[in-house]
A = this chain, B = another copy of it.
């Protein structure tokens, strides 16, 4: 591909992203100061290379998946934020009260608003968390809340119904033992250490140890096993508005997938370990017309993943610009 062909591909992608209509040769004459015939010739080359395709013989061209990929990898120029985009994000960035994860979460909501794509926010996974503290809060005679807090500040709570005889004091004592012995344990190892280290101890000291063990086991193992990284998807309904999803059936299927947290987690997180990854079209596994842009971050130990889910015909440059901006600002803020 020579320069002119690259320019042409770029123009086709960008026009298509804007108009959502197949791009005809005529519409590009002005821009290139060439006749439509010449452009048609060049288009034929791009088509033979697989970068663009046409729906029907007599339709304009649309970028193919590899066309988008080429665009993203070689042609796209990261876009500066517009003033209003920046303004909206800064209201969050400047807020000193927000802890990092909340700030990122809020920014992603705004990005979803600005772009009409869906945002996914995935907190650090539970496996990285270490047990910080467990507490028992009695609610009334036979109800308690068991709280588990990790070193990353993730808190999980669970209520338990007590049978009459279970002794609150023993529960609290056990929580103290756990805090003394297990603080700092990776959260996914806690359950087994609970069984092999804590259970024998309380078995000696307490009558009702089985029941007590049961409660802590439940509170703690739930936390670790059940895919418990807190995942949020915002702006689901917005993506459905994108014009490529005009067909009722497609919309339903997409709505289904966007609601399925396990699936989204799989899409956004489990597939590879790259820091930035753009899954275009079929690669997204969501829908052939959909793109997923994923970004992992690690800001001074706080890590997580964010992603944008939108149409294949996405404003790639803008989205990348927005994500860059947010994560950079967060890093800056953290350094201060």
Q: Is the CB of B218 within 8 A of A237?
A: no
Cβ of A64 under 8 Å from chain B = no
Chain B residues positioned under 8 Å from A102 (CB to CB): 159
Which of B96, B98, B137, B248 contacts A251 (CB under 8 A)? B248
Q: Is the CB of B255 within 8 A of A236?
A: yes
Query: Shortest CB–CB separation between residue A232 and chain B, in angstroms?
Result: 12
Q: Is the CB of B218 within 8 A of A240?
A: no
User: Of residues 152 to 188 in A, which have CB atoms within 8 Å of B's CB atoms?
Assistant: 152-153, 155, 157-161
Q: How far is the CA of A246 from the CA of B255 in the complex (A)?
A: 14
Query: Shortest CB–CB separation between residue A126 and chain B, in angstroms?
Result: 16
Q: How far is the CA of A202 from the CA of B241 in the complex (A)?
A: 52
Which of B149, B246, B247, B259 contacts A237 (CB under 8 A)? B259
Chain B residues positioned under 8 Å from A151 (CB to CB): 139-140
Report A84-124 CB contacts with B as 1/0, cut-off 8 Å. Answer: 00000000000011110110000000000000000000000
Q: Is the CB of A161 within 8 A of B218?
A: no
Cβ of A256 under 8 Å from chain B = yes
Q: Is the CB of B147 within 8 A of A155?
A: yes
Cβ of A143 under 8 Å from chain B = yes
Q: Is the CB of A99 within 8 A of B159?
A: yes
Dominant secondary structure at the A interface: mixed
Cβ of A28 under 8 Å from chain B = no
Report A121-150 CB contacts with B as 1/0, cut-off 8 Å. Answer: 000000000001101010110010101010
Q: How far is the CA of A251 from the CA of B250 in the complex (A)?
A: 11
Q: How far is the CA of A96 from the CA of B163 in the complex (A)?
A: 10
Cβ of A262 under 8 Å from chain B = no
Query: Shortest CB–CB separation between residue A13 and chain B, in angstroms?
Result: 26
Range, interface on chain A: 35 or more
Q: How far is the CA of A101 from the CA of B139 in the complex (A)?
A: 14
Cβ of A252 under 8 Å from chain B = yes
Chain B residues positioned under 8 Å from A140 (CB to CB): 151
Which of B101, B139, B241 contacts A252 (CB under 8 A)? B241
Q: Is the CB of B143 within 8 A of A133?
A: no
Query: Shortest CB–CB separation between residue A211 and chain B, in angstroms?
Result: 11
Which of B153, B236, B241, B255 contacts A139 (CB under 8 A)? B153
Query: Shortest CB–CB separation between residue A187 and chain B, in angstroms?
Result: 14
Q: How far is the CA of A256 from the CA of B237 in the complex (A)?
A: 5
Which of B101, B135, B139, B240 contacts A152 (CB under 8 A)? B139
Report A281-311 CB contacts with B as 1/0, cut-off 8 Å. Answer: 0000000000000000000000000000000
4 nearest A-B residue pairs (beta carbon) = A99-B159, A155-B157, A237-B256, A237-B255
User: Can you spell out 22 A-B residue pairs with CB atoms less than 8 angstroms apart?
Assistant: A97-B160, A99-B143, A101-B159, A132-B137, A133-B137, A139-B151, A143-B153, A145-B149, A145-B153, A145-B155, A147-B149, A149-B157, A153-B159, A155-B155, A236-B255, A237-B252, A237-B258, A240-B251, A246-B248, A247-B248, A248-B248, A251-B252
Given contacts A98-B161, A99-B159, A135-B135, 4 further A-B contacts (CB under 8 A): A143-B153, A236-B259, A248-B251, A251-B251
